[in-house]
């Protein structure tokens, strides 16, 4: 068996990936692939299995069966390699609130094994890129949520990962900052980093190159948002989601 890592064409390849908890099948034989530099929206209702799938793809949870490679690494055998080559941010946990902006950047740089010189360079780049130089000595707990989320995103990119996983990154963020956040996503993807993102804002589904919608552990639909709207004959992605998640109601 060839365990060598070579630059893959697809950032994520998933085939029949399954995870059971006792008799409950949280993720039921899902298959998809995400191209390098793609913005992929991973949607689904609460409890549909998204979080379990993400935990498997980020090397935090072993699958029951099926296959998946992330950045070319196998989720069963190379979870440590996966974690080194991906970035992750969520709405709930991303940064240490009682460290300053600058300390957070340095801490995560250290965790990802960047050299002191590299950490210094990246800190400068991030602070200037985000316009946060003036608040670099402020505790993260004291800066507005929108800024926190932009900083968390940048920190998730500090080691130049192949793929970044964003779990509800814009929850509760004001409408202007939410759109600026998506500009950052586009810039990141244009530079070649694959973006894997979840959201409950259905307008944001439209900002993805492709989306998948999970229902009861399975991927019920996948494609470009406009394609899915056409396929279901509806005007907004909100309605696509409603048809899939509550077929009886639509």
Partner 1 sequence: MNPVVVHDLAKRFGDTTALDGLSFDVNDAELFGFIGPDGAGKTTLFRILVTLILPDAGTAHVLGLDVVRDLWAIRARVGYMPGRFSLYPDLSVRENLEFFASVFGSTVEEAADVIAPIWRQIEPFRDRRAAALSGGMKQKLALCCALVHRPDILLLDEPTTGVDAVSRREFWDLLAELKASGLTIVVSTPYMDEASRCDRVALVQHGKILEIAEPGVIGARYPRPLLSVRAARRHELLQALRQFPHAYSVFPFGADVHYADARTDAVPAAIAGELAAWLASRGFPDARAEPIPAGVEDVFMSLMGAPGDEVAA
Positions touching partner 1 (CB under 8 A) are 44-48, 91, 131-132, 134-135, 142-147, 168, 171-177, 179-180, 182, 186, 200-203, 205-207, 225-226, 229, 236-238, 241-242, 245-246, 249
Strand, coil or helix: what is 8? coil
Strand, coil or helix: what is 48? coil
Spatial separation of the C-alpha atoms in residues 6 and 135, rounded to whole Å: 41
Name the E strands within the chain: 10-21, 24-35, 39-44, 65-70, 73-74, 86-90, 163-167, 194-198, 210-215, 218-223
Question: Least distance from C-beta 206 to partner 1, angstroms?
Answer: 4
Instruction: Considering the complex, state which of residue 70 and residue 151 has its C-beta at the smaller distance from partner 1.
Output: 151
Question: Least distance from C-beta 148 to partner 1, angstroms?
Answer: 10
Question: Least distance from C-beta 126 to partner 1, angstroms?
Answer: 15
Residues 6+ apart with CB under 8 A from 142: none
Instruction: Considering the complex, state which of residue 78 and residue 94 has its C-beta at the smaller distance from partner 1.
Output: 94
Edge-to-edge strands, sheet with 218-223: 86-90, 163-167, 194-198, 39-44, 210-215, 218-223
Question: Least distance from C-beta 33 to partner 1, angstroms?
Answer: 23
Instruction: Considering the complex, state which of residue 182 and residue 196 has its C-beta at the smaller distance from partner 1.
Output: 182
Question: Least distance from C-beta 54 to partner 1, angstroms?
Answer: 15
Which run of H or E residues covers position 56?
A: helix 50-57
Instruction: Considering the complex, state which of residue 112 and residue 207 has its C-beta at the smaller distance from partner 1.
Output: 207
Closest CA to 69 of 29, 14, 2: 14
Instruction: Considering the complex, state which of residue 129 and residue 131 has its C-beta at the smaller distance from partner 1.
Output: 131
């Amino acid at each position: 068996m060839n365990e060598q890592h070579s630059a893959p064409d697809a950032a994520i390849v998933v085939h029949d990936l399954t995870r059971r908890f006792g008799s409950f099948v949280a993720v039921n034989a899902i298959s998809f692939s995400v191209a390098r530099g793609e913005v992929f929206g991973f949607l689904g209702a609460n409890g549909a299995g998204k979080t379990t799938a993400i935990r498997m793809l980020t090397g935090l949870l072993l699958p029951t069966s099926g296959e998946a490679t992330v950045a070319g690494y196998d989720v069963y055998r190379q979870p440590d390699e996966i974690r080194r080559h991906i970035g992750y941010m969520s709405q709930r946990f991303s940064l240490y609130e009682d460290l300053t902006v600058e300390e957070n950047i340095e801490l995560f740089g250290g965790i990802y094994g960047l050299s002191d010189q590299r950490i210094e360079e990246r800190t400068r780049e991030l602070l200037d890129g985000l316009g946060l130089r003036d608040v670099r000595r402020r505790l993260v707990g004291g800066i507005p949520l929108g800024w926190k989320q932009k900083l968390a995103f940048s920190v998730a990119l500090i080691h130049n990962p192949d793929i970044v996983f964003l779990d509800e990154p814009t929850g509760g963020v004001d409408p202007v900052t939410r759109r600026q956040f998506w500009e950052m996503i586009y810039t990141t993807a244009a530079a070649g980093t694959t973006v894997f993102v979840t959201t409950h804002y259905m307008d944001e589904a439209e900002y993805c190159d492709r989306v998948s919608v999970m229902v009861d552990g399975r991927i019920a639909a996948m494609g470009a948002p406009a394609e899915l709207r056409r396929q279901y004959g509806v005007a907004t992605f909100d309605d696509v989601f409603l048809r899939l998640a509550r077929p009886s109601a639509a």
